[in-house]
A and B are shown apart, each in its own frame.
Chain A
Amino acid sequence: MSSEVVSELMREHIVKLVASGRRADGRGPEETRKLTIEKNYIKTAEGSARVRLGNTDVLVGVKIGIGEPYPDTPTSGVLTTSAELVPLASPTFESGPPSPTAIEIARVVDRGIRETKTVDMSKLVITPGEKVWVLFIDIHALDYDGNLFDAASYGTLAALSCATMRGAKLGVPDRPLPVDHWPISITAAKIRNTIVFDPALDEERIADARLTVATDENGDVRAMQKGLTGSFSYDEVRYVISTARRLGNEIRGIVRA
């Protein structure tokens, strides 16, 4: 992914704004953009969701099939997550094999689902060692206006929550994919010495550091990922976590609805 040049004027403007507690789009530092989710957007997918976080637009599809388990985990279903940052979504995205950014997004989302046992993989076994449900999560960016991490993770959770395991091939009725946990990811960006949440594109481009925190319905931390070259102090990390818990509660309601 090539990066876009940000003019010095724009950079100074955003730095000054956030330092005084304001933002270019009028939000407060801890305010996230408007989130809308359309579940079951795609008929050809077993579960899907189109997520708009401000102007960032992401479509997530879940395909569910039947396959063989990995030899080392015979009593566990199979989960694969991929992200495509297609060049339709931004002038900085290029066609070709997945960029490091796309791989990072897919892996962070994958960890969030796998490690939190959002979907209990042991419930996806049909015949141990032989036949299991196979889940493909495909994250498709449509319009990139900052914070793909959170948009992709809300989309994934929403798509899983409306997914169906089609039983026709096994001669059993369809049933919903069991979703046991609701980890909500919140991303903070540090610009000089100020932290803002749900960074818009202009903020993300000039940010020194990024921290994504996923908290579950009990307020426990389930995943974290720090990015970019800057750093956070311990107090800043604690501030981000406590804010992520509060914002996560609001967003969880929208994702579950």
Chain B
Amino acid sequence: MEDIEHFEKEIRLVDENGRRIDGRSLDALRPIKIEAGVLKRADGSAYVEWGDNRVLAAVYGPREAHPRHLQDPTRALVQCRYNMAPFSVSDRKRPGPDRRSVEISKVTSEAFANVVFREQFPRTSVDIFIEVLQADAGTRCAGITAASVALADAGIPMRDLIASCASGKIAGQIALDLNKEEDNFGDADCPMAVVPRTGEIVLLQMDGHLTEDEFDRAMKLSMGATSKIYEMQKDALRRRYAVTALDEDDASEVSP
């Protein structure tokens, strides 16, 4: 990565006051903005800004499953495609799926299959498309957070939303929601996704090195963060479906 060359070897990820390079404390999330219903053609959609990440998600379906041999006569498929735009990273990414995005697509599909009431739509497919427009570490969490809102926006029956967040280890300390520099130079990264109402973990990955105690603390941080993200997701959906109040405001502005 070309960016790595520009950094000093002994880059200080955390200063003596416990502040990170972007000014956050160790247990702080980056600023998150969630918007539901942003695309016209999709059955449901959502846009998430998460620090410098920008992610769009769209949901189509339930619709006929393709290829047909994948159809399940008893329930719907949940198929997710995670894709990065070529300009979303510092060195241009070659268009199309690579091994990383295939893996992320798979674990994301599996996470959502857990909450969708699939047996209500036999032989169909619920298709989730996650497009990363600008990446700054944590794109799968931002993508899952967006896709979850998009599924609700599409009216897909679900047990609950899924909220997702990562935490990891930087400069020997456990920190929430790593950004790109922290991810590149940190010691561990552990993305997870949870069904907030029940606390069930539907996605969990880890790379790097954590002791058992560190893992516990990282998960506690992530769990706390996902409950905040869950509220933001519900808030985005409420704003999307509170149009009548907005319409009245608009009408009163137009006709005095």
What residues of chain A have their CB less than 8 Å away from a CB belonging to chain B?
A: 41-45, 48, 55, 57, 59, 61-63, 65, 82, 84, 86-91, 95, 97-98, 136, 138, 140, 142-145, 168
Do residues B135 and A87 form an inter-chain contact, with CB atoms below 8 A? no
How distant is the Cα of A26 from the Cα of B243 in the complex, in angstroms?
Answer: 23
B-side binding surface: helix, strand, loop or mixed? loop
| Cβ 8 A contact of A48, one of B41, B60, B87, B129 | B87
Do residues A87 and B86 form an inter-chain contact, with CB atoms below 8 A? no
Do residues B60 and A91 form an inter-chain contact, with CB atoms below 8 A? yes
Do residues A87 and B129 form an inter-chain contact, with CB atoms below 8 A? yes
A-B contact pairs, 14 of them (CB 8 A): A42-B54, A43-B134, A44-B88, A61-B88, A82-B86, A84-B95, A88-B39, A89-B58, A91-B41, A98-B95, A140-B85, A142-B56, A143-B41, A145-B40
Task: Known A84-B95, A87-B127, A91-B60; judge A143-B40 contact (CB<8 A).
Answer: yes
Do residues A88 and B92 form an inter-chain contact, with CB atoms below 8 A? no
| Cβ 8 A contact of A59, one of B83, B85, B95 | B85
Can you name the residue of chain A whose Cβ is closest to the Cβ of B40?
A55
How distant is the Cα of A65 from the Cα of B93 in the complex, in angstroms?
Answer: 12
Can you name the residue of chain A whose Cβ is closest to the Cβ of B63?
A91
Do residues A45 and B39 form an inter-chain contact, with CB atoms below 8 A? no
Task: Known A88-B131, A136-B92; judge A61-B86 contact (CB<8 A).
Answer: yes
Contacts of B63 in A (CB 8 A): 91
Task: Known A61-B86, A143-B41; judge A42-B58 contact (CB<8 A).
Answer: no
How distant is the Cα of A55 from the Cα of B60 in the complex, in angstroms?
Answer: 18
Do residues A88 and B96 form an inter-chain contact, with CB atoms below 8 A? no
Do residues A63 and B87 form an inter-chain contact, with CB atoms below 8 A? yes
Contacts of A63 in B (CB 8 A): 86-87, 92
Contacts of A89 in B (CB 8 A): 39, 41, 58
Contacts of A95 in B (CB 8 A): 81, 83, 97
How distant is the Cα of A251 from the Cα of B6 in the complex, in angstroms?
Answer: 41
Contacts of B83 in A (CB 8 A): 86, 88, 95
Contacts of B6 in A (CB 8 A): 168
Do residues A87 and B81 form an inter-chain contact, with CB atoms below 8 A? yes
Number of CB contacts from chain A to chain B under 8 A: 91
Is B120 an interface position by the 8 A CB rule? no
| Cβ 8 A contact of A88, one of B56, B86, B88 | B56
Give me the 4 closest cross-chain CB pairs, A-B, nearest first.
Answer: A61-B87, A88-B129, A45-B87, A63-B92
Do residues A88 and B42 form an inter-chain contact, with CB atoms below 8 A? yes
Give the distance to chain B from A63, nearest Cβ to Cβ, in Å: 4
How distant is the Cα of A98 from the Cα of B88 in the complex, in angstroms?
Answer: 19
Contacts of B56 in A (CB 8 A): 88, 142
| Cβ 8 A contact of A142, one of B87, B90, B97, B131 | B131
Do residues A86 and B129 form an inter-chain contact, with CB atoms below 8 A? yes
User: B12-48, CB under 8 A of A: which get 1 and which 0?
Assistant: 0000000000000000000000000001111001000
Can you name the residue of chain A whose Cβ is closest to the Cβ of B180?
A44
Contacts of B131 in A (CB 8 A): 86, 88, 140, 142
How distant is the Cα of A184 from the Cα of B150 in the complex, in angstroms?
Answer: 35
Interface residues of B in 160-193 (CB under 8 A from A): none
Contacts of A87 in B (CB 8 A): 58, 60, 81, 127, 129
| Cβ 8 A contact of B41, one of A44, A45, A136, A145 | A145
